[in-house]
Structure 1
Amino acid sequence: MYPFPKLPIIILLIFLMIGCTQKEEKFWELAIVGNTASALSPDGQLAMIGSINHGGSLWRLPAYERRFNWNHQEGVFSYLVAAAFSGNNELAATADNLQTLVLWSSLTGEPQAFWRAPGDVSSIALSSDGNNALLGLLDNRAILFNIKNGGVERTYLHADRVNAVAMSGDGVMVLSGSDDYTAKLWDTATGKLLHNWDMGNKVVAVSLSANHRFAFIAAANSIAQVRDTKTGNLVYDVNPHAEWMGRGPTLVSAIFSDNEQKLLTGTTNREIKLHDLQQKKVIKHWQVSRRQAWKPTGVAIQALAFGQDQFYAIGSNGLMYVLH
């Protein structure tokens, strides 16, 4: 009847979280003020950012060497809204706020193709070979686009704007999340809708595991889940206290390990967690640094990657983090 009995539990949980939280090992500045978009290659060896002040650039890690400037028009800093790497790390795609879509070689830094996107882009996922780009659009569409040769190959429909898209490493399935409160899983070859999950709020982040076994879905109400792509059933409640604790930090990024046993997630509030999907629990928890500790500004974790013995993250504040 009264909420007071929950308070001791909430306080205990907060103390437990603080006690288990680790600081990042190192961080480097990739952008002076912050990023409009960013991406990490699957192996964590390359970072791509869209700087608020200086447009797009590619960085090689762990040397933290700025390799190439990637802007869509010579002499003009592009305002990038989305970026992604191919699974083989050899290609990358960027989209700007003018509906320009560019495919780049991450080996030479040269553009491979320029296209006019079929709408305002919100998010991008590239196929493993880089031949196809899955585009989330600010209208109600997700588009499978042949980014090497041009042309729309398939269209996946929602009832409102699409915020996030993902493609499985084997290219068999695509996942889209929308303001219509749903995440939809599609068969790439046939375009058939496989599952339609209602999350009760705007879906802001999605991810698929390499062999399309699992789907990650996060909504703006802090609810986040891992679903079985075959049955559609809930496998793991990523944020089990979201409903009874009220609104908390929204999860905005996630990536599965190659063996599909771990999940790395990032929030709008500087938090990064490593989840064990077999044990169904958080096994590591970090809260990364702000640029200026005395300013209570949030940092959204825009991109994540698994390394051999460490983890990588890029924050919206322009900092690159290495976690152990």
Structure 2
Amino acid sequence: MSLNIYFKSLFSLLILTLVISCSESDQPLKRYEHAVEGAFAAEISQNGDYSIISSIHHGLSLWDNRNNKLLFQWRHHNVQDNDIYIVRISASNSHALSASRHEFAIWDIKSGQSLGFYKVSDSPIRDIRISANGRYVLYGQVNGKVVHIDLQTGRRLEMPIHTEKINSIDLSANGLYALSGGNDHRAFLWNTKTAQIIQEFNFEHRVSMVKFEAQGRYAFIADTQKASQIWNLETGKLQSTLNYTARQSIFSSVRFINDGKQLLTGNGTKTITLWDVKTGLSRQSWTVTPRKETRPKTAVVYSATLWDGDKIASESSAGFLEIWPLDPLTK
């Protein structure tokens, strides 16, 4: 065999291998149905053990993902049609939170008991978070106000920090720091005890997503166009900017994983992407499965996380928990 023929054969084999690898990465290792006709909202716990789902047929459902077991089904008071569009799980897996536009509820994950319902009457809730131990709640509203509540003492801090609608907020695991971003093109990092603004971030477009890294070392902040930035909060400087070719990318979910070294994002067009925090470069991507009856054939990625250190778990609007292979070279 001549060298030319040998190298052509080798090149063809390499291309075929890459094509096969890419196609296999779009197939989940496992798939479990959590909502029969899709979900309004869903979140996976940081370690992947639990999922909380809001859907029209099942109300609120808490799942044990390790055993594929339905643990509890909940409903808000006086709600006939389920209108819960935000669900959260605390970082310690001790508490769950569910919210409609004008109320939120706290649940004990171990016992399934309700720990309280809270009304919000002045302006609709846009986003809401709960601290790791379930003591603190932070929510952002249509009127631009962010509210921090100590559920143990009843202390309430109202921050009319934005001049337009809030789009995204986040609360540090210990409840002491907050991130907020809104339609006024600004994001703020601030102290929930003193109400002191620590850092302001200015963007050319509306801020659509903010997210803390679990240890509070980084913050992800993105606008509605191409500014998707990772900030080092210890230095106050920009760490990296996500590098993608699309004109814009509006994220439906964001989570730091692997001890803050990587970032998982999801969007409204079925895609999960793994990013390197230091460089902002993408490392791997997956396409979640839409429901067969869906038109158009798409799904919103609601939540994704690292699963057992070598896989990715996702929940989407299709109502599926899916487990995906993680390329060993991306770790």
- 8 Å CA contact 1:113–1:148 kept in 2: the answer is no
Match of 1:57 among 61, 64, 71: 61
1:75 Cα deviation after fit: 7.7
**What is aligned with 1:290?**
290
Give 5+ residue unaligned stretches, structure 1: 1-15
Letter in 1 for 2:231: R
Deviations 1:122-164 (A, max 9, x none): 2111111110011121220111122355452342511111121
- 8 Å CA contact 1:133–1:146 kept in 2: the answer is yes
Aligned-partner SS, 1:180: coil
- 8 Å CA contact 2:63–2:69 kept in 1: the answer is yes
Match of 1:115 among 118, 122, 147: 118
- 8 Å CA contact 1:39–1:302 kept in 2: the answer is yes
1:112 Cα deviation after fit: 0.9
Match of 1:147 among 145, 151, 170: 151
Letter in 2 for 1:76: Q
1:307 Cα deviation after fit: 2.2
Letter in 2 for 1:113: G
Separation of aligned partners in 1, 2:145 and 2:258: 29
Letter in 2 for 1:147: L
Separation of aligned partners in 1, 2:245 and 2:186: 21
Letter in 1 for 2:285: H
Deviates more, 1:291-300 or 1:212-221: 291-300
Separation of aligned partners in 2, 1:17 and 1:234: 36
**Residue 192 of structure 1 pairs with residue 196 of structure 2:** yes
Separation of aligned partners in 1, 2:19 and 2:243: 13
1:296 Cα deviation after fit: 3.1
Match of 2:91 among 87, 99, 121: 87
Aligned-partner SS, 1:80: coil
1:267 Cα deviation after fit: 1.1
- 8 Å CA contact 2:289–2:318 kept in 1: the answer is no
Separation of aligned partners in 2, 1:153 and 1:84: 21
Deviations 1:78-123 (A, max 9, x none): 31021211121011111123x1211100111110112113532121
Deviates more, 1:180-189 or 1:43-52: 180-189
1:178 Cα deviation after fit: 0.9
1:272 Cα deviation after fit: 0.7
**What is aligned with 1:40?**
44
Separation of aligned partners in 2, 1:180 and 1:208: 20
Give 5+ residue unaligned stretches, structure 2: 1-17, 326-331
1:59 Cα deviation after fit: 0.9
- 8 Å CA contact 2:240–2:279 kept in 1: the answer is no
Larger Rg: 2
- What is the TM-score when the length of structure 1 is the normalising length? 0.85
Match of 1:205 among 187, 209, 226: 209
Aligned-partner SS, 1:35: coil
Aligned-partner SS, 2:85: strand
Separation of aligned partners in 2, 1:83 and 1:276: 27
**Residue 227 of structure 1 pairs with residue 220 of structure 2:** no
Separation of aligned partners in 2, 1:66 and 1:180: 41
**What is aligned with 1:253?**
253
Aligned residues: 304
Separation of aligned partners in 1, 2:99 and 2:154: 15
- 8 Å CA contact 1:204–1:252 kept in 2: the answer is no
1:263 Cα deviation after fit: 1.0
Deviations 1:213-270 (A, max 9, x none): 111112222431111224432211113434xxx23x4222111126211111111111
- What is the TM-score when the length of structure 2 is the normalising length? 0.83
Match of 1:31 among 28, 35, 41: 35
Separation of aligned partners in 2, 1:148 and 1:297: 45
- 8 Å CA contact 1:167–1:173 kept in 2: the answer is yes
Separation of aligned partners in 1, 2:294 and 2:116: 44
Instruction: Go from structure 1 to structure 2 and tell me whether the alpha carbon gap of 1:282 and 1:229 turns closer, same or farther (over 3 Å shift).
Output: same
Aligned-partner SS, 2:173: coil
- 8 Å CA contact 2:166–2:182 kept in 1: the answer is yes
Separation of aligned partners in 2, 1:144 and 1:18: 50
Letter in 1 for 2:85: V
Letter in 1 for 2:194: T
Deviates more, 1:205-214 or 1:52-61: 52-61
The alignment yields a C-alpha RMSD, in angstroms, of 2.5
Instruction: Go from structure 1 to structure 2 and tell me whether the alpha carbon gap of 1:310 and 1:156 turns closer, same or farther (over 3 Å shift).
Output: farther
